[in-house]
Chains A and B, each alone.
Chain A
Amino acid sequence: MMFAASEVLAPLRGGWFLENAWLAPVVPTIGFALIVLIGKRLPKKGSEIGVLSMLVSLVLASGAAWQWIQRVGAANEEQFVAPVVRTWTWWQAGGMQFTIGQHIDGLTVVVLFVVAFISTLVQIYSLEYLRGDRRYTHFFAALTLFSAGMLAMVIAEDMILFLLGWEIMGLCSFMLIGHWWEDGANSRAALKAFFTVRTGDVGLLVGISMLFFAANDWTTTNLGLSGFSIRGISAWALSGEPNSTVILVAAFALFIAAIGKSGQFPLHTWLPDAMAGPTPVSSLLHSSTMVVAGVFLVARLYPVFFTGLDILGPSSNVIMVIAAITIVIAAALAFVQTDIKRVLAYSTVSQLGYMMLGLGAGAWLPAVFHIFTHAFFKACLFLCAGSISHSASHHSFDMKKDMGGLRKHMPITFASWTVSTLALCGVFPFSGFFSKDEIIDNVGANGYTFFMVVGLGGAFLTAAYMTRATYLTFFGQARGASAGEHDTHDAHDMHGAHDAHSSHDTHDTKHDSPHESGILITAPIAILAVLAIFSGLFNATPFGESWEYMKKWVEPRAVVVVQPSAGGPGAALVLSLPEAESGYGDSPCGKETPVDGICYAPQVNHAKFKWSKALLSLALVFAGIAISWLLSAAFYGRRDPRLVGLTQRNGVARAGYRLLANKYYLDDLYERGVVRAVVGPMAQGAYWFNQKVLDGILHGIARVARVVALVVYRDIDQRVVDGAVNASGELAQSAGTTVQPIQSGRVGHYGALLFATAAVVALVFVILNT
């Protein structure tokens, strides 16, 4: 490290919120503890603590975001804006030191804000949605801790805290998905989610350990940071130092973790089953926490993936392949679902595929921007689904049986749903257009034409399945519970334990006909719908450079930094090389070994926006909407005889439908195939080993033993031993009778005796030693 003879730039701007952003996860954690300890005794059963702590977090996150914007704005145009880092020693043993701390940069503040914002709205929504639930307090405790886990992971300075937040989320998702565990299906779904995600988590542990052992020496020598530090790992990955095999394996292991958490193919099967949880949980889990964690992991340690998997290289990499498969198969599955939440679940899987595709293709910023916009409209869609089941369809989520024609009864829900659907499909002025189109555009511009076509196809499918869901829910004839039928109520009541509703009188009388939900439900939905319209304007590339706020604020500048920042405000002594300005290839960061400094972020290029490309994808989207609308109207509305029963008459259609209805048989593969393939041969092998090898040895030994035993029996046993045994037996019997009262059968007595003996022995030792 050396200073070039150039100017030292002005110190970066700091601020209270930036330096104390670590409070954002701490406050909900304290809130969680309070809810658990005293929640039940409070007038609102602990929910007020949950909402309040999330509001405080939201204020902290907004403040941090605002001050980060100030910090970037005040910095020089080409300067590397150093993250605000604070660390504390958490644990020290021998020569090892584990720190815990915050790392606040553009990516952190944007995700921090989204998580805090959506958590707050979801908690407010839950006040009404779960009113009267038997585990109301418990629900708010778990929900608060869930958000705290995500917030902790987002601000993590090192991989230890990252792992901690990651695992807290895994635990809380288990508790929340299985919230109504009295129903066996729900607890099975919770277990499935937990174990599937854990399968991937092994990759995270392996990846973190590998990175630590590979990077620790380099980071300690050059930066004075440990091998767990995210800054250290990032700089190391781009330094040209790492062995390409090591970093490839580490990146692959981390990506497996991301596959599990973010529901990518082939570990996506847990996500749709996670719908067993209450709707607010689905909303939070699918929009901003949990599933975003995997994408966030890839975005956070982007240099590792960039170098390890050769992103922007000539060939496609594993991230893109997995993402492309995920986009298509999940979108196809969404067509055969009857449960409205499952449609949305597969839609989330597919959208996460877009984010991964963007990351894999070097479109870092569009992917992060898609996290941002997707969170709002997906949370809104889930909350709308919850609102429908809460107020119109008697807790059913079955679109075919219990919905239809709801647009007149639920104007606010319908309007919000429509807006969010348009945003999800990527229709022009809505937010999804700006982010999804950016991803597809950049994938194409980076030379991956095939994957761009997959993305466009995915956009077509998205538009089609969302139109189908919208038609089934809000248009056509009212069916089942929405039409006021009560008899089917019990048969498909998703909430086996949601019985407390019956004690809620005012609510019960309103159950007779579909109606709009209360203000606590519609207000969060409406707020999210507004954001679903406008959040795209934060990076509206079609309107020119001046609208690309996200790019300015969030994307780390890929410039060579001379002196690593010591953290905190004003500590960044930063120097930028003039040629770091232009696109990929000219920059030293990412592709070349940086000289006289270090890089924290690889240089990625941005596609130039062209209306011709955007119009192509818009045309596909509108085609999807139109085709799907016509088919839905013919199939579900008029029951067109040419379409109804097609899956029975036509072999190809039948095969396709069965493949989709059985989810590509992946569940069967996992539950029967894998388990049988592993357990069956293992059992057979063990049996063979037992019969042939062990038994053979045993038989041989037994024969020898028999001969010996006969000799021993006659001479030794009868004469010598028996005499001794009889004598000792008598002794033991008399001793046993004496101490028999001690065997009282009471555990407490045994414990007392045990400790008394231990105390006596300790006393003896003390006396002997003095």
Chain B
Amino acid sequence: MLISQFLILGAILFCIGVYGVIARKNAVLVLMSIELILNSVNINLLAFALRNGSADGHTFALYIIAVAAAEVGVGLAMVLLIYRNRRSIGLDELSEMRG
């Protein structure tokens, strides 16, 4: 099996995710980009697990999926609260934390 194809797919997804996190202003899209990054990691884990013939990678991937679900839950709750307070989810408008 050509493991490099999986890795390339993972790398592409990772890059798209990083681009989204940095360049997007919509908080929901940033959360989605984080999901992409997590899933690119999943693909890498699965690819290596397939090559090594062990179930460990699958287990880790399942954990990551669970953690990602929790993370999105918390993230969306925060986005919802921000929206309620400011009527906007544009991240560029949120700069109260400036040092």
Contacts and interface: CB of A to CB of B under 8 A. Distances in A.
A96 interface: yes
Contacts of A91: 58
Nearest to B49: A93
A743 interface: yes
Interface string A87-124: 00001011110000000000000000000000000000
Given A96-B55, A751-B22, A744 B30 contact: no
Interface string B26-70: 000010000000000000000001000111011000000000000
B2 interface: no
A505 B25 CA distance: 43
Nearest to A744: B98
B97 A743 contact: yes
B98 A745 contact: yes
A745 B97 CA distance: 4
A96 B94 CA distance: 48
Given A747-B30, A751-B21, A755-B22, A94 B95 contact: no
Contacts of B55: 93-96
Nearest to A743: B99
A681 interface: no
Contact of A747 (B49, B94, B99): B94
A742 interface: yes
B91 A748 contact: yes
A96 B57 CA distance: 13
A745 B96 contact: yes
B53 A747 contact: no
A746 B95 contact: yes
Given A93-B49, A94-B55, A748 B21 contact: yes
A755 B30 CA distance: 14
A748 B95 contact: no
A491 interface: no
Interface residues of A, number: 18
Interface in A731-764: 736, 740-748, 751-752, 755
A96 B92 CA distance: 48
B88 to A, nearest CB: 14
B22 A748 contact: yes
Contacts of B92: 746, 748
B18 interface: yes
Contacts of A742: 99
A325 B97 CA distance: 61
Nearest to A737: B99
A96 B18 CA distance: 34
B4 to A, nearest CB: 17
A746 B98 CA distance: 8
Nearest to B14: A755
A743 B57 CA distance: 37
Contacts of A751: 18, 21-22, 30
A761 to B, nearest CB: 15
Given A96-B55, A755-B18, A745 B23 contact: no
Contacts of A93: 49, 54-55, 57-58
B94 A745 contact: yes
Contacts of A755: 18, 21-22
Contacts of A95: 55
A162 B85 CA distance: 44
A94 B58 CA distance: 9
Contacts of B23: 748
Nearest to B25: A748
Q: Which of B21, B22, B91, B92 has the most CB of A within 10 A?
A: B22
A163 to B, nearest CB: 15
A95 B99 CA distance: 54
Contacts of A748: 21-25, 91-92
A755 B49 CA distance: 26
Contact of A743 (B25, B30, B49, B98): B98
Contact of A746 (B49, B57, B58, B91): B91
Contacts of B58: 91, 93-94
Contacts of B30: 747, 751
Nearest to B33: A751
B3 to A, nearest CB: 15
A752 B22 contact: yes
A745 B49 contact: no
Nearest to B17: A755
A156 B31 CA distance: 35
Contacts of A746: 91-92, 94-95
Q: Most chain-B Cβ atoms within 10 A of its Cβ — which of A93, A743, A752?
A: A93
Interface in A152-173: none
B54 A94 contact: yes
Given A94-B55, A96-B55, A745 B91 contact: no
A612 B32 CA distance: 68
A91 B57 CA distance: 13
A735 to B, nearest CB: 12
Contacts of A94: 53-55, 58
A349 to B, nearest CB: 33
Given A93-B49, A94-B55, A740 B99 contact: yes
A345 B21 CA distance: 49
Nearest to B20: A751
A747 B20 CA distance: 12
A741 B21 CA distance: 20
Contacts of A743: 97-99
A742 to B, nearest CB: 7
Interface in A118-134: none
A742 B57 CA distance: 37
Given A94-B53, A94-B55, A745 B99 contact: yes
Contacts of A747: 30, 91, 94
Interface in B72-97: 91-92, 94-97
Nearest to B54: A94
A747 B79 CA distance: 13
Contacts of A741: 99
A91 to B, nearest CB: 8
Nearest to A758: B18
A523 B92 CA distance: 55
A91 B62 CA distance: 13
A581 B25 CA distance: 73
A748 B20 CA distance: 9
Contacts of B97: 743, 745
A745 B49 CA distance: 40
A746 B21 CA distance: 12
B55 to A, nearest CB: 4
A755 to B, nearest CB: 5
A752 B19 CA distance: 9
A743 B18 CA distance: 20
Contacts of A736: 99
A464 B99 CA distance: 75
Contact of B95 (A96, A740, A744, A752): A744
A751 B91 CA distance: 12
Nearest to B53: A94
25 contacts: A91-B58, A93-B57, A93-B58, A94-B53, A96-B55, A736-B99, A740-B99, A741-B99, A742-B99, A743-B99, A744-B95, A745-B95, A745-B98, A746-B91, A746-B92, A746-B94, A746-B95, A747-B94, A748-B22, A748-B23, A748-B25, A751-B22, A751-B30, A755-B18, A755-B22
7 closest A-B pairs (Cβ-Cβ)? A743-B99, A745-B95, A745-B98, A94-B55, A93-B55, A745-B97, A93-B58
Given A95-B55, A745-B96, A748-B21, 15 more contacts: A91-B58, A93-B55, A93-B58, A94-B53, A742-B99, A743-B98, A743-B99, A744-B99, A745-B97, A745-B99, A746-B91, A748-B22, A748-B23, A751-B30, A755-B21
